[in-house]
Chain A
């Protein structure tokens, strides 16, 4: 026993300079974890903090502590932030972009497909656009597997409402109910939030055509034009300048294609990289969700002058 005590006390005192999280520290909740900051993770957190709120004075002591609040989604940081939710939004910022715009006679959704390979079976799979019910569709940006779960949840919720009330679920209620599910993952269970942002486009008899955007925190808002995914801030600012109220669907499609062509990273804009869908009313009064075929998309790209010669693809 005596020998053991000597060995323990002769180990070096842990400090940032060691650059290794090799010690177990009692965390604020009473458990043990490797939560002493290493130099690397310290710097990374300072980097993110500076990027997001550069005007705030962040003392090094505070940003060290922030690492401790990463591991639980259901805990606020000392600055009042939910880091896991913000990290989820980071994940979405790297995914293919999607834009939704409200027209006088419909809603247009357009998405950028990130996975484009000759080998992909394009006929059977949709990557960005999904139908939720006859009168609501959505565009997705973020982690596809998370999106699939939420889309299924939304579909079942819409059907449950229809079963109960024998009429289609109002769009805002559907969005709200899905966002309530997302919010649950930021408050209970200790599970990570969903890494998906949605753009919901739909019609109901109370409010006509609507467009909603929702994010991993469970917040949602009604928009006239919105963008999610990569370069969404750039797209949003172009939309702010160029959006006109009461535009027709053709004008809105043109605007959507132009905005996407300006914000997309890729060098060429072909119909394989895009998905375009519209929600509108048929002359008989029923709501239609129509996804454009690749041929129709190519024609539109040529018509609006946004198609560029395709670069050599691998």
Chain B
């Protein structure tokens, strides 16, 4: 029993020109059986910070609820939203708290920081941060995603082109992974708007 592959997931985030895109698959499975095709992996922390969690679904949900708890208190005390870099440090700290009994998820964090500069990062299940300038991936389809993103990515893409690129990378990668797929969920975030789209790919 590989616990990280119990539910199946695919998550990717990419940086564009003053914008970012974050995408995930929609399958929730119990090993080989698919039990939901509309599972929410990407969650909004606030208008400019998104987090997507891959891995064990129960930890995905609980960890998200704990992060909402911490962010709400931060907002009340500091009277402002958290910067994406700060939020990433918070997630890393919360994951490391459980160093010897970890949350079985790998987060991907994406946000717009100061001056609308896009920020993405990923970390392992015990909080080791990995910042990237181009794209980050996570989940059972991560190896395919690495290959697809490396091939399709180019820097400074506008929002529409970024959407096309990330969608193609996601759909082609999940087709090579039996545990993820059943469509895609993509958020493209610019300083002025958040565009949410559902993708229809191979529904298997």
Chain A residues engaging chain B, CB cutoff 8 angstroms: 131-134, 152, 155-156, 159-160, 162-163, 166
Tell me, rounded to whole Å, the shortest Cβ–Cβ distance linking B107 to chain A.
18
Q: How far is the CB of B170 from chain A (nearest CB, A)?
A: 28
B72, A133: Cβ atoms under 8 Å?
Answer: yes
* B203 on the A face (CB < 8 A): no
Q: Which residue of A lies closest to B62 (CB)?
A: A163
- Which residues of chain A have C-beta atoms less than 8 A from B77's C-beta? 152, 155
Minimum distance in angstroms from B44 CB to a CB of chain A: 15
* Contact present for A159 and B69 (CB under 8 Å): yes
Contact of A156 among B66, B68, B73 (CB under 8 A): B73
In the complex the two chains form, what is the Cα distance from A133 to B68 in whole Å? 12
The residues in B between 64 and 81 inclusive whose CB is less than 8 angstroms from any CB of A are 65-66, 68-69, 72-73, 76-77
Nearest chain B residue, comparing its CB with the CB of A126: B79
Question: Whole-angstrom distance between the alpha carbons of A163 and B70 in the complex?
Answer: 10
Q: Let me know if B66 and A163 touch, CB within 8 A.
A: yes
Would you call B76 and A131 a contact (CB within 8 A)? yes
Q: Is A159 a contact of B73 with CB atoms below 8 Å?
A: yes
Q: Can you identify 22 A-B contacts, CB atoms within 8 angstroms?
A: A131-B76, A132-B76, A133-B72, A133-B76, A134-B72, A152-B77, A155-B73, A155-B76, A155-B77, A156-B73, A159-B69, A159-B72, A159-B73, A160-B69, A162-B68, A162-B69, A162-B72, A163-B65, A163-B66, A163-B68, A163-B69, A166-B65
- What is the minimal beta-carbon distance from A4 to any residue of chain B, in angstroms? 62
A159 CB, nearest partner CB in chain B, Å = 5
Nearest first, the 9 A-B pairs at minimum CB distance are A159-B69, A163-B69, A155-B76, A163-B65, A159-B72, A159-B73, A155-B73, A131-B76, A156-B73
> A162-B69, A162-B72 provided; 17 other pairs, C-beta below 8 A?
A131-B76, A132-B76, A133-B72, A133-B76, A134-B72, A152-B77, A155-B76, A155-B77, A156-B73, A159-B69, A159-B73, A160-B69, A162-B68, A163-B65, A163-B66, A163-B69, A166-B65
Interface size for chain B: under 10, 10 to 19, 20 to 34, or 35 or more residues? under 10
Whole-angstrom CA separation of A159 from B76 in the bound complex: 11
Most B CB atoms within 10 A — which of A131, A159, A162? A159
* Chain A residue at smallest Cβ distance from B76: A155
The main secondary structure of chain B at its interface with chain A is: helix
| Nearest-Cβ distance from residue A263 to partner chain B, whole angstroms | 30
Per DSSP, are chain A's interface residues mostly helix, strand or loop, or mixed? helix
A162 to B65, CA, bound (A): 9
The interface residues of chain B lying within 8 Å CB-to-CB of A155 are 73, 76-77
How far, in angstroms, from A159 to B73 measured CA to CA in the complex?
A: 8
Chain A neighbourhood of B72, CB < 8 A: 133-134, 159, 162
Chain A, residue nearest B65 (CB)? A163
The B52-108 residues at the A interface (CB cut-off 8 A) are 65-66, 68-69, 72-73, 76-77
How far is B77's CA from A162's CA once the two chains are assembled, in angstroms? 17
Report Cα–Cα, A131/B69, bound state, in Å: 15
Contacts of B66 in A (CB 8 A): 163
- Residues of chain A within 8 A (CB-CB) of B73 are 155-156, 159
Nearest residue, chain B, Cβ from A166: B65
Nearest neighbor of A130 in chain B, beta-carbon distance: B76
What is the CB-to-nearest-CB distance from A22 to chain B, in angstroms, rounded to a whole number?
Answer: 49
Q: How far is the CB of B146 from chain A (nearest CB, A)?
A: 35
Nearest-neighbour CB distance to chain A for B69, whole angstroms, equals 5
What residues of chain A lie closer than 8 Å to B69, measured between beta carbons?
A: 159-160, 162-163
Closest Cβ–Cβ distance, residue B83 to chain A (whole Å): 18
* Nearest CB in chain B: distance from A33 CB, A: 41
Taking CB atoms, residues of chain B closer than 8 Å to A160 are 69
B88 to chain A, nearest CB (A): 21
Write the nearest CB–CB distance from B81 to chain A, whole angstroms. 14
Chain B: minimal CB distance from A308 (Å)? 32
A164 smallest CB distance to B (angstroms): 9
Nearest B residue to A131, CB-CB = B76
**Which residue, of B68, B69, B72, B76, has the highest number of chain A Cβ atoms within 10 A?**
B76
Min distance, Cβ B118 to any Cβ of chain A, angstroms: 28
- Closest chain A residue to B61, Cβ basis: A166
Q: Output the least CB separation between B112 and chain A (Å).
A: 23
CB neighbours (8 Å) of A159 from chain B are 69, 72-73
How far apart are the CA atoms of A152 and B73 in the complex, in Å? 9
